[in-house]
Amino acid sequence: MTAFINSLDRGNAPYLDELEKRAKADDVPIIRKDTQALLKFLMAQSRPKNILEVGCAIGFSALLMAEYSDSDTRITTIEKFEKRIPIAKENFIQYDTNNKITLLEGDATEILKTLSPGYDFIFMDAAKGQYINFLPDCLRILNKGGLLVSDNVLQDGDVIESRFAVTRRDRTIHARMREYLYELKHNDALNTVILTVGDGMTLSVRL
Ligand code: SAM
């Protein structure tokens, strides 16, 4: 089904397709095709003005959101991996021609605490075991009516595997992800839908 859906996709701006190829060649994890389509849809449908991304890598998804959002949209993105930061910076200099993107260098655990409220769209795409720790700050800075979008929440289905079928490290990550999903579905401040798009995604609206 995913291959069929992706076969209908018209692709992105050529520089994004090029960046995607480079990321794949260098083993940099970036959002999948169907996730890209959903993000583009959400840019057009919810028209966010102030976006926060947690997990920039080399800037592919930030540039995708910049490309397909309104001209006055601003994007702040966080990355802690020193090897990826200079590449992201270079890509933003080259492709973020409208200066929509600001890169914050460092650990999201620290940086999120320093951010002020006012975001209408948060894209969570960092260390999967940390989502549950990032959530309180995300809820603090997300506007009412704003969207929290989280990627890789089903880990190709591994999240629902028996704990004995996975390694100890993955067991911990999966347990934390299950806790995160439970919280998203049971927190009275949120209305959440869990989708099997890409590697599993959630869309949560702040009530
Ligand atoms: N959103 C990117 C895209 O699709 O183009 C991909 C992000 S990649 C899946 C996840 C990134 O999050 C990695 O580059 C990793 O270094 C970063 N990351 C993980 N934990 C982090 C943390 N606590 N603070 C900041 N960055 C983190």
Give domain 2-206's CATH architecture: 3-Layer(aba) Sandwich (3.40)
- pTM tops 0.85: yes
Q: Indicate whether residue 33 lines ligand 1 (CB < 6 A).
A: no
Helices (H) and strands (E) in the chain, counts: 8, 7
Q: Provide the residue-wise pLDDT of the chain in tens; the chain has 207 residues.
A: 999 999 999 999 999 999 999 999 999 999 999 999 999 999 999 999 999 999 999 999 999 999 999 999 999 999 999 999 999 999 999 999 999 999 999 999 999 999 999 999 999 999 999 999 999 999 999 999 999 999 999 987 888 877 777 777 777 888 999 999 999 999 999 999 999 999 999 999 999
Q: How far apart (Å, rounded) are the C-alpha atoms in residues 192 and 204?
A: 4
* CA atoms in the 13 A half-sphere facing the CB of 55: 20
**Site to substitute for ligand 1 among 81, 82, 112, most atoms within 8 A of C-beta:** 81
Q: How far apart (Å, rounded) are the C-alpha atoms in residues 77 and 55?
A: 7
Domain spans in the chain, listed from the N-terminal domain onward:
2-206
Q: Coil, strand, or helix at residue 95?
A: helix
Q: Indicate whether residue 57 lines ligand 1 (CB < 6 A).
A: yes
Q: Coil, strand, or helix at residue 115?
A: coil
- CA distances to 8, 33, 68, 158 from 71, rounded to whole Å, are 27, 23, 9, 39
- Which own/partner contact pairs does 169-175 have at CB distance under 8 Å and 24+ positions apart? 172/129, 173/128, 173/129
